[in-house]
A and B are shown apart, each in its own frame.
Chain A
């Protein structure tokens, strides 16, 4: 097949047209998918709240507070039922073995831990990923414990937490993230 001759003007015009049509098409698709994408992100968050908070009837996203502890800022979400605060979800993170571990921790108003969900992690499959509820029930040992009298560090460091076998670094990071969340909760409670 014959190739089309290239002149300066027809190259400019072609590239301009191709980009114009592409951008227009993309803008159109973007508008179409905008709502579903927002819904999907919202749905993700709501799902996390449903897991970590006790039953609530408000939208915790509307009850968001930013709390600064030292140099980190934490997002706190209040879950309310009949206007009364029933739980507080705190987003927290710390450096694990393979990368950052991001958690969302649900606290009851008295400061005890209700449930924890892992938002993101890069821990080793079969070892560090036991922090996931779907892989082992290791994380249930935190439920109902109040960090006030439950020391959030592994037994080897003098705490109350049984570390995951062969994954001490992951366990330490998990505890550290919980402790950070608790500190943010206490600081937030004072404000």
Chain B
């Protein structure tokens, strides 16, 4: 039950994009087509879960025991950067089909603040390993939900007659704002 709550809270109540403002760059950048949005969400889910597990282990078995938790930022970002590379290499060898689908998104993920953000938040919240995993899965689903819905709306938008100055990014932000309002309706759901 506790794990279900962590997931619901991460997907709806504390949606990473629409209420926590993490991962906005890919949210605006790769949301023109539903297909690419799905690919990006898959890649993010993959890396987010693995990164959270690895950073959890590093934080609790290396940084804290030898008293250098101030090195958190630098170690976490290096771990994420190397992890992304590693995932790319392994995926290429093991599953070329999956690599075809996710490959082009992987390099973009290192600088996706959602990954580092979730890793740091999981540590800050003092979650244990299993809770951290559910926390990461929840946030990844939340990211996917927001991104894919958003790209669906943006595809429709191509057909709409938008005032000239609003076209492109400005209208995207207005829509994101309206979506954030909808998601604000979930607040208070998890108690």
Partner of A26, one of B14, B71, B187, B188: B71
Q: Total contacts A to B, CB within 8 angstroms?
A: 16
Bound CA span A99–B189, Å: 10
Nearest A residue to B73, CB-CB: A26
> Are B187 and A30 in contact, with the CB atoms below 8 A?
no
Q: Residue-by-residue, is B175-191 near A (CB-CB < 8 Å gives 1, otherwise 0)?
A: 00000000000011011
Bound CA span A95–B6, Å: 13
Residues of A within 8 A of B160 (CB): none
Q: Residue-by-residue, is A89-109 near B (CB-CB < 8 Å gives 1, otherwise 0)?
A: 000000101110000000000
Residues of A within 8 A of B191 (CB): 95, 169
- Residues of B in contact (CB 8 Å), total 8
In the complex, whether B74 has a CB less than 8 A from a CB of chain A is: yes
Bound CA span A98–B190, Å: 9
In the complex, whether A141 has a CB less than 8 A from a CB of chain B is: no
The B contact surface, by secondary structure, is loop
Nearest A residue to B191, CB-CB: A95
In the complex, whether A46 has a CB less than 8 A from a CB of chain B is: no
In the complex, whether A22 has a CB less than 8 A from a CB of chain B is: yes
Bound CA span A122–B43, Å: 31
> Are A169 and B188 in contact, with the CB atoms below 8 A?
yes
Residues of B within 8 A of A124 (CB): 187
Q: How large is the interface on A (under 10, 10 to 19, 20 to 34, 35 or more residues)?
A: 10 to 19
> Are A23 and B187 in contact, with the CB atoms below 8 A?
no
Bound CA span A23–B71, Å: 8
Rounded to whole Å, the gap between the CB of B21 and the closest CB of chain A is 14
Rounded to whole Å, the gap between the CB of B9 and the closest CB of chain A is 9
Residues of B within 8 A of A98 (CB): 187-188
Residues of A within 8 A of B (CB): 22-23, 26, 30, 95, 97-99, 124, 169
Pairs across A and B, CB under 8 Å, 14 listed: A23-B71, A26-B71, A26-B74, A30-B70, A95-B190, A95-B191, A97-B187, A97-B188, A98-B187, A98-B188, A99-B14, A124-B187, A169-B188, A169-B191
Could you list 14 further interchain pairs (A-B, Cβ under 8 angstroms) beyond the known A97-B188, A169-B191? A22-B74, A23-B71, A26-B70, A26-B71, A26-B74, A30-B70, A95-B190, A95-B191, A97-B187, A98-B187, A98-B188, A99-B14, A124-B187, A169-B188
